[in-house]
Amino acid sequence: MRRQILPALAVFLFFTVLVGAVYPLAVTSVARIAFPSKSQGSLVREGGVVVGSRLLGQAFSAPRYFQPRPSAAGTGYDGAASAASNLGPTNPVLLKSVRERVASYRRFNGLSASTKVPVDAITASGSGLDSEISPANARLQAPRVARARGLALAQVLTLVRENTHGRSLGFLGEPGVNVLELNLALDKGK
């Protein structure tokens, strides 16, 4: 029995150290050298202070800011509770929530009852932490932001265009607008 237990224990310890320590350290080291910003969380700093991450959404509630997608993560934009609502497309709770979000979005942005609302403005993502909204969503919010800041609509729409990112590798996904970067550009007056 001892002849079988000692080699099994040795293999177990070897793979525990290899997979539990050596491999993660090697991958982390390569990532820090090859992708220094991304490996540190793509943090955004203003005046030396971290104000957010390019990868994680955060709440903006004032009318002078662009609003992100709704969040189902914890109490909202909680990175420790990242998750979807798990409500299916025919679930009455989800349908009621979407109707309420459509009405709230139209009211908050001063839109007519017939204005079509982009899906990303009324549904949470799988993670509940999306950092980007669609360009259509940003364009619908632009008049509200311009009014609240006393800016020309054309100036705000220019910032939306400047902060719109194309598809990954030119063909994956859809164009998006990073809400944090756009709001910071507004605050800087760019």
- Specify the range with the lowest mean pLDDT, choosing from 4-8, 16-20, 135-139, 153-157: 4-8
pTM of the full structure: 0.79
Residue 47 has pLDDT above 90, yes or no: no
pLDDT given at position 190: 52
pLDDT given at position 155: 96
Name the β-bridge partners of 49. Answer: 46
Residue 106 has pLDDT above 70, yes or no: yes
Per-domain residue ranges for the chain? 1-40, 43-188
Percent of the chain with pLDDT over 70: 99
**Average pLDDT along the chain:** 90
Triad 68, 38, 15: Cα angle to 5°:
120
Residue 103 phi, psi dihedral angles, 5° rounding: -60, -45
Is 169 or 21 the better-scoring residue by pLDDT? 21
Alpha carbon of 181 to those of 52, 56, 133, 161, 190: distances in Å?
9, 11, 12, 12, 11
pLDDT given at position 78: 78
Per the rule left: phi > 0, alpha: psi between -120 and 50, beta: everything else, 27 is alpha
- The mean per-residue pLDDT over the stretch 47-70 comes to 89
